[in-house]
């Protein structure tokens, strides 16, 4: 009964039938010094999210200084010529706000959330620390200990995190996406105050930054404040587009086996390089996004339906693809077999599912369902101004434009089954793989 009703529903709710939203009005402008800005309106609550994203991340670090982008992110809270150590966060908190920061391969971002009438204060302080950072050597030494503890907590204590670090370093032969964001431990131990300041002086500049303001604000008001606080900052001359070491042709499949006695559920991963979204050219990425959903993106996806439900040979399966990277990203299949099934069998199961995918093609009903899910996800996304702000920040530091972000739902909607099959052929037939096993030491399993 429910099923029949549902089929009627999907006939009624086409992509175009979804209503326009009352929130999420987007305005963009660029200051004379090159600082780009995006304003996302959401007048439902009197709050504002203020973010500054720098177009620099772990993939832009000098050789031998892995982790310096993230270390600098920590040090940005340690004071300027005007503010003391920790005072930035104290002032945000005293004004009823929260603040944080984040680092990825392609970007480093700083975020605060406050009542909308405090926006000017935040811009004043963020503009101050864009150029006026002051680092006490003792503070730097203590903070290096903190990032080493962070690595110990997030990576060194987690077999899965260590395994994925090794996989990534194998997937990219030359491109710096092979470097962990937190840094390799031995290089982190050697990071210095001078390295952080050199990195800071080169990359922290208005013409390398994106301002995102989301919440209960008017675009004209944001523009006036941005011109007042960020406008006077001199740009860094000569900052061109990022050019990282490129991948050579990948001509060999690779295997990574990582063993740890505390692995409870061994699993296999198969990774491939995959194109990312490029400005004006997002069709391939849209097809790969839908492919990941159809193969391993939910309960009705091929891997889940067959390996978990029908054959009951897997505990968990997934297909991952993230198109929001500056250079080429990755497409990953994962299979966690049930106890008693070896990783060799689990790997063969994944290969069998890929073969079956090409044999059976894509069920048109499933295809429409997946596309409808994407359309609906736009409605849910409008509920979260911070999420929308992150979406624009990530895109604009990954080589995309506001127009690309706004076109993306239409590009997804226009993607056909044939497009997805063609993208799948290029992905699975034309690339070499990195296949990884995360498992217990051989002795322990006998």
Partner 1 sequence: MIRAVFAFYFALLAVPAGAQVQIEEVTSPGGITAWLVEDHSIPFVALDIRFQGGTSLDLPDARGATYLMTGLLEEGASDMDAQAFAAMEEQLAARFSWDAYRDSVTINAEMLTETRAASVDLLRAAITSPRFDEAAVERVRSQVLSIIAGDEQDPNELAPDQFNALAYGDHPYATPGTGTAETVAALTRDDLIAAHQQLFTQDRVFVGAAGDITPEELGALLDRLLGDLPQTGGRELTEAPWELSGGLTVVEFPTPQAVVFFGHPGIERNDPDFFPAFVLNQILGGGNFRSRLLREVRVERGLTYGIGTVLSLSDHRPMLLGQFSSSNNLVAGAIEVIQDEWADIATNGVTEAELEAAKLFLTGAYPLRFDGNATIAGIMAGMQQDGMPIDYIATRNDNVMAVSLADVQRVATRLMQPDALHFVVVGQPEGL
Which one among 152, 224, 257, 403 touches partner 1, defined by CB under 8 A?
A: 152
- Which one of the spans 153-161, 193-201, 408-416, 420-428 is the region binding partner 1 (CB under 8 A)? 153-161
**Helices (H), ranges, 317-363:** 343-360
> Nearer Cβ to partner 1, position 310 or 430?
310
Closest CA to 52 of 67, 40, 36: 36
If one asks whether residue 144 binds partner 1 (CB under 8 A), the answer comes out as: yes
Closest CA to 369 of 21, 77, 13: 13
Query: What is the DSSP secondary-structure string of 279-326?
Result: TTB-HHHHHHHHHHHHHHSSTTSHHIIIIIIIS--EEEEEEEE----S
Q: How far apart are CA 164 and CA 438, in angstroms?
A: 9
> Nearer Cβ to partner 1, position 66 or 308?
308
Which one among 25, 30, 90, 445 touches partner 1, defined by CB under 8 A?
A: 90
Which one among 14, 30, 279, 377 touches partner 1, defined by CB under 8 A?
A: 377
Closest CA to 10 of 371, 418, 417, 411: 371
Which one among 27, 33, 89, 431 touches partner 1, defined by CB under 8 A?
A: 89
Helix, strand, coil percentages for the chain (3-state, nearest 5): 50, 20, 35
Binding residues for partner 1 restricted to 37-66, rule: CB under 8 A:
44-47
- Which one of the spans 201-209, 248-256, 352-360, 365-373 is the region binding partner 1 (CB under 8 A)? 365-373
| Number of residues counted as binding partner 1 (CB under 8 A) | 88
Given its phi and psi angles, is residue 238 left (phi above 0), alpha (psi -120 to 50 degrees) or beta? left
> Nearer Cβ to partner 1, position 299 or 442?
299
Site string for partner 1, 383-402 (x = CB under 8 A): xxxx----------------
Determine contact, residues 443/261, Cβ cutoff 8 Å.
no
If one asks whether residue 76 binds partner 1 (CB under 8 A), the answer comes out as: no
Given its phi and psi angles, is residue 340 left (phi above 0), alpha (psi -120 to 50 degrees) or beta? left
Which one among 1, 243, 251, 252 touches partner 1, defined by CB under 8 A?
A: 1
If one asks whether residue 3 binds partner 1 (CB under 8 A), the answer comes out as: yes
If one asks whether residue 96 binds partner 1 (CB under 8 A), the answer comes out as: yes
Which one among 14, 30, 98, 416 touches partner 1, defined by CB under 8 A?
A: 98
> Nearer Cβ to partner 1, position 182 or 330?
182
If one asks whether residue 355 binds partner 1 (CB under 8 A), the answer comes out as: no
Q: Is 73 a catalytic residue?
A: yes
Site string for partner 1, 253-282 (x = CB under 8 A): --------xxxxx-----------------
Residues 6 or more apart in contact with residue 328 via CB below 8 angstroms? 175, 247, 273, 274, 275, 276
> Nearer Cβ to partner 1, position 174 or 379?
379
Collapsing DSSP to helix, strand or coil, 183 comes out as coil
Which one among 25, 30, 64, 93 touches partner 1, defined by CB under 8 A?
A: 93
Planar angle of CA 210, 212, 215, nearest 5 degrees: 175
> Nearer Cβ to partner 1, position 199 or 229?
229
Determine contact, residues 46/115, Cβ cutoff 8 Å.
yes
Which residues are known to be catalytic?
73
């Amino acid at each position: 009964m429910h099923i029949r009703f549902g089929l009627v529903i999907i006939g009624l709710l086409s992509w175009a039938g979804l209503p326009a939203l009352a929130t999420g009005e987007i305005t963009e402008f660029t200051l004379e010094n090159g600082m780009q800005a995006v304003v996302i309106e959401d007048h439902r609550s009197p709050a504002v999210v203020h973010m500054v994203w720098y177009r620099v991340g772990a993939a832009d670090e000098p050789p031998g200084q892995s982790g310096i982008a993230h270390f600098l992110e920590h040090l940005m809270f340690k004071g300027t010529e005007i503010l003391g150590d920790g005072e930035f966060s104290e002032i945000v908190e005293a004004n009823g706000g929260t603040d944080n920061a984040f680092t990825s391969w392609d970007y480093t971002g700083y975020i605060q959330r406050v009542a909308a009438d405090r926006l000017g204060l935040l811009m004043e302080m963020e503009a101050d620390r864009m150029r006026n950072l002051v680092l006490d050597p003792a503070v730097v030494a203590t903070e290096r200990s903190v990032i080493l503890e962070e690595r110990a907590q997030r990576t060194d204590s987690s077999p899965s995190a260590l395994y994925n670090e090794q996989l990534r370093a194998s997937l990219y032969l030359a491109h710096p996406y092979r470097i962990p964001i937190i840094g390799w431990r031995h290089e982190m131990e050697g990071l210095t105050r001078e390295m952080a300041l050199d990195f800071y002086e080169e990359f922290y500049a208005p013409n390398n930054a994106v301002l995102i303001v989301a919440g209960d604000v008017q675009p004209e008001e944001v523009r006036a404040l941005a011109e007042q606080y960020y406008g006077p900052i001199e740009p860094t001359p000569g900052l061109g587009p990022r050019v990282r070491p490129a991948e050579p042709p990948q001509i060999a499949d690779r295997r990574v086996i990582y063993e740890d006695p505390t692995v409870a559920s061994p699993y296999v991963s198969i990774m491939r390089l995959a194109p990312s979204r490029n400005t004006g050219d997002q069709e391939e990425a849209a097809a790969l996004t839908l492919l990941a959903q159809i193969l391993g993106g939910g309960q009705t996806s091929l891997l889940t339906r067959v390996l978990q439900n029908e054959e009951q040979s897997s505990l968990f399966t997934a297909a991952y693809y993230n198109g929001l990277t500056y250079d080429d990203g990755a497409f990953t299949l994962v299979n966690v077999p049930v106890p008693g099934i070896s990783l060799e069998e689990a790997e063969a199961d994944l290969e069998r599912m890929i073969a079956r995918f090409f044999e059976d093609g894509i069920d048109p009903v499933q295809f429409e369902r997946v596309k409808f899910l994407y359309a609906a996800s736009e409605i849910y996304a409008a509920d979260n101004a911070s999420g929308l702000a992150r979406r624009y920040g990530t895109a604009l530091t990954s080589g995309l434009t506001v127009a690309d972000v706004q076109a993306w739902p239409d590009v997804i909607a226009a993607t056909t089954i044939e497009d997805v099959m063609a993208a799948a052929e290029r992905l699975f037939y034309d690339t070499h793989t990195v296949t990884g096993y995360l498992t217990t030491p051989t002795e322990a399993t006998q």
